[in-house]
């Protein structure tokens, strides 16, 4: 389980986040175009908080050349790498300047330079100086980056912060969680990871399968296959003609007319298969559609009444992504909730509901 703690004032916890263990207050929103490293922003009571990585950090982590400039207040000469900063786009005068913490001696120099309280205890110091990999946010080769920051308000430093990122395994930090429901039980569970060493984000593993990249010629949306953990069998995937038409105005792909398709489903999304075992995925628009599909195929509903009500009241809690499937433009994209019917030799055997949650939900 990925776990973040931020310390100030000799070990006081400034904030902490337990990923996927209930809701947390920090409303981070992913924006893949925002920054090559920090691809998110935060909605706060004070406005939109934007994050920007530094030219030097981008070069260090990604070997990425950029020419943008970030201004830092009163630069401490003992800081060897500035990582970037966060600031409010509406001009609210609070910002954080992030830097690499090399060791506890360097952190003490930063504390002295800005006349701010030293942020950590001797226990955290021990990790910083001897096992930084346990609390680091980034890794490249055999180098680790542990993050510190200086918080400013109205141009004056107010807090020296220290970040501990405890990772689930190796260099992986989870930012999405997926659960598959069948007969009101969770039958599959996994995470989508960000690899802090190589910057790769599309690493998906569950208790059933591990996904891996595969270039699929002619498919604009699917670029993966899955290896079943127990058997080593490879599961293939494809997007449907319907979703290709809706999002890319393409006429290629399968419409699955060889299957007994429930007429209540308006958009079939794709298919996966291993031999004669095939799964058709579709856009689940409401609990009424869920009930209709279950009745049509004579299958048990995948979830209980509480989750069915949530599909209607809060589909964002389940959605794979928001898509402009009705071509209504920005602001009118719909949260696409995914359900699936499993077929064996074209006979429906199982009805599943897939729930996708982000790290801050």
- Strand pairing class (268-274; 277-284): antiparallel
Q: Which of 103-107, 177-181, 216-220 has the lowest mean pLDDT?
A: 177-181
- pLDDT score, position 44: 79
- pLDDT score, position 305: 92
Q: How far does CA 254 lie from the centroid of its chain?
A: 29
- pLDDT score, position 21: 37
Residue 79 CB: number of other CB atoms within 10 A?
Answer: 20
Q: Which of 35-49, 69-83, 169-183, 254-268 has the lowest mean pLDDT?
A: 169-183
DSSP symbols for 243-273? HHHHHH----SB--TTS---TT-S-EEEEEE
Question: Bigger pLDDT: 162 or 11?
Answer: 162
- pLDDT score, position 331: 67
Q: pLDDT tier at 30 (50, 70, 90 boundaries)?
A: low
Radius of gyration of the chain (CA): 24
Q: What is the DSSP letter of 325?
A: T
Residue 343 CB: number of other CB atoms within 10 A?
Answer: 21
Residue 67 CB: number of other CB atoms within 10 A?
Answer: 5
Q: Return the structure tokens found at 341.
A: 């019917």
163-166, long-range: CB within 8 Å, 24+ apart, which pairs? 163/4, 163/5, 163/6, 163/135, 163/137, 164/4, 164/5, 164/6, 164/7, 164/124, 164/127, 164/135, 165/2, 165/3, 165/4, 165/135, 165/136, 165/137, 166/2, 166/3, 166/4, 166/5, 166/134, 166/135
Q: What is the C-alpha to C-alpha distance for residues 219 and 275, in angstroms, rounded to an integer?
A: 20
Residue 271 CB: number of other CB atoms within 10 A?
Answer: 21
Q: From 87, 83, 126, 75, select the one nearest 104 (Cα to Cα).
A: 126
pLDDT digits (tens, 9 = 90+) for 341-361: 999 999 999 999 998 876 444
Question: Taking each helix axis from N to C terminus, what angle separates 305-313 and 287-297, rounded to the nearest 10 degrees?
Answer: 130
pTM more than 0.85: no
pLDDT digits (tens, 9 = 90+) for 185-226: 988 988 676 665 554 556 778 889 988 888 888 898 888 899
What percent of the chain has a predicted confidence (pLDDT) above 90? 47
φ/ψ (deg, to 5) at 305: -65, -30
Q: Is 346 in a helix, a strand, or coil?
A: coil
């Amino acid at each position: 389980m990925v776990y973040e703690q931020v310390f100030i004032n000799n070990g006081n916890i400034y904030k902490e986040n337990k990923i996927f263990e209930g809701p947390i207050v920090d409303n981070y929103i992913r924006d893949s175009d925002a920054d090559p490293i920090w691809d998110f922003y935060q909605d706060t009571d004070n406005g939109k908080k934007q994050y920007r990585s530094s030219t030097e950090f981008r070069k260090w982590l990604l070997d990425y050349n950029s020419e943008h400039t970030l201004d830092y207040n009163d630069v401490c000469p003992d800081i060897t790498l500035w990582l970037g900063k966060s600031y409010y786009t509406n001009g609210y005068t609070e910002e954080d300047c992030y830097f690499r913490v090399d060791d506890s001696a360097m952190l003490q120099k930063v504390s002295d330079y800005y006349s701010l309280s030293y942020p950590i205890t001797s226990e955290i110091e021990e990790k910083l100086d001897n096992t930084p990999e346990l609390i680091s946010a980034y890794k490249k080769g055999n180098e680790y980056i542990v993050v510190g920051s200086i918080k400013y308000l109205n141009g004056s430093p107010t807090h020296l912060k220290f970040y501990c990122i405890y990772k689930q395994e190796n260099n992986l930090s989870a930012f999405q969680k997926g659960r598959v429901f069948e007969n009101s039980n969770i039958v599959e569970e996994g995470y989508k990871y960000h690899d802090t060493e190589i910057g790769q984000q599309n690493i998906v593993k569950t208790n059933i399968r591990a996904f891996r990249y595969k270039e699929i010629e002619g498919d604009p949306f699917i670029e993966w296959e899955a290896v079943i953990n127990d058997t080593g069998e490879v599961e293939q995937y494809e997007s449907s003609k319907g979703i290709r038409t809706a999002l890319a105005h393409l006429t290629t792909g399968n419409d699955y007319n060889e299957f007994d398709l429930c007429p209540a489903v308006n958009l079939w999304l794709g298919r996966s298969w291993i031999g004669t075992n095939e799964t058709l995925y579709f856009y689940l628009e409401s609990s009424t559609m869920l009930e209709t599909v279950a009745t049509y195929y004579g299958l048990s509903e995948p979830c209980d009444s509480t989750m069915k009500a949530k599909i209607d009241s809060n589909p964002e809690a389940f959605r794979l992504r928001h898509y402009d499937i009705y071509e209504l433009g920005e602001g009118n994209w719909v949260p696409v909730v995914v359900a699936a019917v499993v077929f064996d030799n074209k006979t429906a055997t199982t009805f599943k509901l897939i729930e996708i949650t982000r790290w801050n939900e």
